[in-house]
Amino acid sequence: MAAAKAHDDRVIMTREGYDKLKAELIALRGDGRAEIAAKLQEARGFGDLSENAEYHAAKEEQEKLENRVLWLDYQLSKAKIVDAEDVDTSSVSLGTTVTLKDLDLKKTFVYTLVGTEEADIKENRISAASPVGMAITGKKVNDEVMVRTPRGIRHLKIMKIRLK
């Protein structure tokens, strides 16, 4: 997964997103590795490793965990954190919560603009790198944008910009 990038190859994210990734990294390095080590130890007790399905499954799990640890480590080392006190709500930017009105559907949506790794549509958190995110970034209240989405072209109006 890629994250929103600044011009200097930094990974832009909110403080909340950074803290969430950091907590995941700590958990994987601690409990995650310990659980896999226990599974490997148990699987070794089943005998011949060449035909030991439990052992091979645990090794695959270990590889996935270590890849995730490396990826998280990289993301956090490149992080440029956008703190709430640094966010200007006069225009849409990373960390702002935006009320949008779809002028065609006559529906209102509220989204928080976040880094790619933090995006979760179920929580109304959209990536600054998404089509909607790119279209509304830098816009002000009452600005209108046209954005191409997987469901077609949307005509959106920015109704409100605030901090979460």
DSSP characters for the chain?
----B-TTS-EEEEHHHHHHHHHHHHHIIIIIHHHHHHHHHHHHTTS-GGG-HHHHHHHHHHHHHHHHHHHHHHHHHTEEEE-GGG--TTS--TTEEEEEEETTTTEEEEEEEE-GGG-BGGGTEEETTSHHHHHHTT--TT-EEEEEETTEEEEEEEEEEEE-
Domains in the chain: boundaries: 11-82, 86-163
pLDDT for res 5: 46
The CATH code of domain 86-163 reads: 3.10.50.30
pLDDT for res 57: 92
Q: What is the pLDDT along the chain (164 residues), one digit of tens a residue?
A: 444 544 467 888 888 889 999 999 999 999 999 999 999 999 888 877 778 888 889 999 999 999 999 999 999 999 989 887 788 889 999 999 999 999 999 999 999 999 888 899 999 999 999 999 999 999 999 999 999 988 899 999 999 999 87
Using CA atoms, how far apart are residues 20 and 163, in angstroms rounded to an integer? Answer: 19
pLDDT for res 8: 60
pLDDT for res 11: 84
Q: CB of 98 within 8 A of CB of 109?
A: no
pLDDT for res 118: 87
Q: 144-149 and 152-163 as β-strands: parallel, antiparallel, unpaired?
A: antiparallel
Pick 11-82's CATH classification: 3.20.10.10, 1.10.287.180, 3.40.50.620, 1.10.150.120.
Answer: 1.10.287.180
pLDDT for res 153: 94
Model pTM greater than 0.75?
Answer: no
Using CA atoms, how far apart are residues 99 and 55, in angstroms rounded to an integer? Answer: 51
